[in-house]
Amino acid sequence: MTAVMREGEAVANTAAAEESIFRRNLHSFAENRLALGSAIVVLLFVLMAIFAPLIAPHDPAETDLFRRLQPPAWMPGGEWSYLLGCDALGRDILSRIIYGARISIFIGAAVVMVATTIGIMAGLAAGYFRGWVDVLISRVVDILLGFPYLIFAIGLMAMMGPGLINIILALVYKEWVIPCRVVRGETLVTRELEYVEAARALGASGKHIMLREILPNILSPVIVVSTIRMAHVIILEASLSFLGLGVQPPTASWGAMVADGRAFILQAWWVSTFPGVAILLLVLAINVASQGLRDAFDPRFHE
């Protein structure tokens, strides 16, 4: 099939050759309806987080012990003004989910941004300079990977105390390794390409070559990988919350809501189920959207 197919494809591809690659990619992403829909879902979640005070029907921290574990509206004992019911302190679960989006998305985005920045720098250095720099960075990566993630995170949180920044640091600790590996691999390939050779021959500095010549050309796989990792980070944060290392009250990440609510699962399933569904939806949407991005922008994944 292949040689035969290639002939056909080669012909077909020339048809689109004039269209700019970017536009074609964007086009093919937009054509992927599932991915587009997911991207819209992610956007809605982000908007929800930004405009939480306008959307949330109640103050997420407002406790009312007489509404303790009040069921969702459609169940006996529920009220329509508390659509998804109340948690153990009588706080409106819907409002807490809306505000919780801020924490979960912020953590996801912050971790991925910091980790990607560190990863890009380390990966560029390792891939460009090679030699001892590469060996050193590879060793560090080995040591970090050899350290079980959750144990390190727990240790770190024990050391520095709980808190948003510390959670982000604990999550960054291992996340940067992934963009680092991607960038290193890409850099190793890219640095041998003609235009980079040319730049080097013209006497461009290492910094210039890395940031101006190599980086722009390897950015797209890195961004794609990073969006996928963001979904992963949101789940990991939930795991930390499960182990009691989540953000401080009264704000709650979704993970913390699921984790705290799990004690009531036999009596009040809604306390942990709705935030769990929120995580699932957002993470799923990010995954689908980023996979669409990958399919569209990374030629190696074209199938």
Partner 1 sequence: MSLARFIERLLQLIPVLLGVSAIVFVMITLTPGDPVEIMIGDQIVTPEQEEALRRDLGLDRPMLERFGLFLGNAVQGDFGESFYHRRPVAEVIAERLPATIELSLVALLVALFTAIPLGVLAAIKKNSIFDRMATVGSLLGVSLPGFWFGILLLMLFAVHLQILPVSGRIGFSSEIEPITHFLLIDTLLRGRPDAFLDALSHIILPAITLGLPMTAILMRVTRTSMLEVLRQDYITFAEAKGLSRHRILWRHALKNALIPTVSVAAIETGSLLGGNMIVETVFGWPGLGRLVVESIFVRNYPLVQAAVLFYAVTYVLLNFIADILYTVLNPRVKL
Partner 2 sequence: MNIENQQNLLQVEGLRTVFETRAGTVCAVDGVNVTVRRGECLGVVGESGSGKSVTFGSVMGLIRSPGRIDAGRILFDGKDLRELDARQMRAIRGRDIAMTMQDALTALNPALTVGEQLAEVMEAHDGDLPTGRSARKRAIRERSAEMLGLVGIPSPDTRLRQYPHEFSGGMRQRIMIAIALASRPRLLIADEPTTALDVTIQAQVLELISDIRAKLGMSVVLITHDLGVVSEYCDRVMVMYAGQIVEQGATADVVCRPKHPYTKGLLGSLPRLSLRGQAINPIEGQVPELINLPKQCRFYSRCRERAPECLQVIGMQDAGNGQFARCIRVKGEDIK
Partner 3 sequence: MKTMSRLLAVSVLAMATAAPIANAQDLIVGFTQDAATLDPGNHRNRETETIIRNMFDGILTRDSAMSIQPELAASYTQVSPTVYDFKIREGVKFHDGSNMTAEDVKFTLDRLTREGAMGNDQTSPRKSLLGPIESVEVTDATTVRVTLSEPWPLLPAMLPFQEIVSKNFVETVGTEGMATQANGTGPFKLVDWRKGDSIIMERFDDYYGGADGIQPAGKACVDRAIFKIIPESASRVAALLAGDVHIINELPPFAVEQVKNSQTADVMTVNGTRSFFIAMNLEGETFDDIQVRQAVAHALDKDLIIDRILGGNAASISGILSPDAFGKNTDLPEYSYDPEKARALLAEAGFPDGIEVTMDTTGAFKDTAEAVASLLTRAGINTKVAVGEAAILNEKWRTQGGPKEGDMYFTSWGNGSLDPQGIFVPTHVTNARGNSAGYSSDKVDALLDAAATEVDREKRAAMYQEAEAIANADLPYVYLWVPQDIYGVSKRLSGWQPSPDSRINLHDACLN
- Assign residue 58 a region: left if phi > 0, alpha if psi is -120 to 50, beta otherwise? beta
What is the distance between the alpha carbons of residues 82 and 71, in angstroms, rounded to a whole number? Answer: 9
Spatial distance between the Cα atoms of 166 and 238, rounded to a whole number of angstroms = 14
Name which position in 106, 129, 149, 264 contacts partner 3 (CB under 8 A): 264
- Give the residue with the Cβ less far from partner 3, 224 or 252: 252
Q: Which stretch binds partner 1 (CB under 8 A): 45-53, 119-127, 152-160, 218-226?
A: 152-160
- Comparing CB distances to partner 1, the nearer of 187 and 272 is 272
Measured CA to CA, the distance from residue 216 to residue 22 in angstroms comes to 14
Q: Which of 54, 65, 201, 266 binds partner 1 (CB under 8 A)?
A: 266
For the chain, what's the residue count? 303
Of 26, 135, 158, 198, the one binding partner 3 (CB under 8 A) is 158
Q: Which residues of the shown chain bind partner 2 in the complex (CB under 8 A)?
A: 1, 3-5, 7-12, 14-16
Query: Please, what is the minimum distance in Å from the beta carbon of residue 154 to partner 1?
Result: 5
Cβ–Cβ under 8 Å, residues 128 and 209: yes
Tell whether residue 68 is a contact of partner 3 (CB under 8 A). Answer: yes
Of the candidates 100, 108, 103, 105, the one whose C-alpha atom is nearest the C-alpha of residue 61 is: 100
Which of partner 1, partner 2, partner 3, none does 293 bind, CB closer than 5 to 8 A by kind?
none
| CA separation for the pair 270, 268 (Å, rounded) | 5
Q: How far apart are CA 219 and CA 217, in angstroms?
A: 6
Options 54-62, 115-123, 219-227, 257-265: segment touching partner 1 (CB under 8 A)? 257-265
3-state helix, strand, coil in the chain (%, to 5): 75, 0, 25
**Three-state SS at 79:** strand
Nearer to partner 3, 111 or 252 (CB): 252
Q: Is 262 in the site for partner 1 (CB under 8 A)?
A: yes
Q: What angle do CA 190, 195, 197 make, to 5 degrees?
A: 80
> Which 174-233 positions form the footprint of partner 3 (CB under 8 A)?
none
Encode burial over 22-44: b for 16+ CB neighbours within 10 A, e otherwise: eeebeebbeebeebeebbebbee
**Residue 230's binding partner out of partner 2, partner 1, partner 3, none, with CB under 5 to 8 Å set by partner kind:** none
Least distance in angstroms from the C-beta of 164 to partner 1: 19
Is 301 an interacting residue with respect to partner 1 (CB under 8 A)? yes
CB of 289 to partner 2, least distance (A): 21
Query: Environment class of residue 69 by beta-carbon count within 10 Å: exposed (0-12), middle (13-18) or buried (19+)?
Result: middle
Q: Is 92 helix (H, G, I), strand (E, B) or coil?
A: strand
Residue closer to partner 1 by CB (options 1, 65) is 1
Chain positions contacting partner 1, by CB under 8 A? 1-4, 139-140, 142-143, 145-152, 154-156, 158-159, 231-232, 235, 238-239, 242-243, 255, 258-259, 262, 265-266, 269, 272, 276, 279-280, 283-284, 287-288, 291, 301, 303
Which spans of this chain sit near partner 3 (rule: CB under 8 A)? 61-63, 65-66, 68-69, 88-89, 158, 161-162, 244, 248-250, 260, 262-268
